[in-house]
C-alpha cells in the first residue's frame, strides 16, 4: 500500500489570509508574487500562497 504525505512546505493560504498575516494590501501581495518574493500555486483557478514563503518574509529572510 502506498503512503502519501504532504510536506509542510506545501501548506498554503488564501491571498486574503496572506494580506492579514503581512499587514499589506492586495496589490502588494500580487507585486510580491510577480517579483518572486512570495511563492504560490493555483488550485482549481484559485491562487494560494505558500506559508513557508510568508514565514521567510516575517523572519527577515527576504526583502
Cα separation of 47 and 43, whole Å? 6
- Location of C-alpha cell 521567510: 56
- pLDDT tens string, the chain, 63 residues long: the values are 554 445 454 699 999 999 999 999 999 999 999 999 999 999 999 999 999 999 999 998 765
Task: Say which DSSP state 37 is in.
Answer: S
Q: pTM of the entire structure?
A: 0.76
Return the pLDDT at 5.
47
Q: Give the structural domain span for 22.
A: 9-58
Asked if the structure places residue 43 within a domain, the reply is yes
Answer whether residue 21 is part of any domain. Answer: yes
Q: Is residue 2 part of a domain?
A: no
| In a domain? residue 28 | yes
Residue 46: which of 22, 2, 16 has the closest Cα?
Answer: 16
Q: Cell 518574493, residue?
A: 37
Counting the structural domains of the chain, the total is 1
Amino acid at each position: 500500500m502506498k503512503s502519501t504525505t504532504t510536506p509542510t512546505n506545501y501548506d498554503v493560504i488564501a491571498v486574503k489570509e496572506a494580506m492579514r498575516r503581512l499587514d499589506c494590501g492586495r496589490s502588494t501581495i500580487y507585486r510580491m508574487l510577480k517579483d518572486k518574493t512570495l511563492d504560490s500555486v493555483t488550485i482549481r483557478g484559485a491562487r494560494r500562497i505558500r506559508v513557508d514563503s510568508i514565514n521567510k518574509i516575517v523572519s527577515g529572510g527576504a526583502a
